Structure 1
């Protein structure tokens, strides 16, 4: 899905938000999290937003721009508030 050029960017972001993040964060309210775990989840989040956006690591695009392009307002997944 992520590399399919026939699927629009908007649909890819929608699938990511509704399916991937939902699955990733299932049961998060009962997790015991440390800063290390939140950083790992944030890294996963940004890595996949870059894949969806077709941004290569060599492009050196700041995370804030990736979030803006994907229309996602926060950098952190805010797990501690789930």
Structure 2
């Protein structure tokens, strides 16, 4: 059951980096990971008699983001 959500998480992280490459400089990678995890939790209904476990992959520590006046936003493209 846990592996079912891996493509969604990978897709979410891809969307964040492909569409929003100019995050505020003070947003660190842990903030991005936390935002991605929180967003995925809002998109998935936990099973009635089961457990939902969401794990966001580590992001490349070499990533650097330039300043942006807009806050960090999370989304999924289409109906993925």
Q: TM-score with structure 1 length normalisation? A: 0.40
Q: By percentage of residues, which structure has more helix?
A: 1
Higher relative contact order (CA 8 A, sep 6+): 2
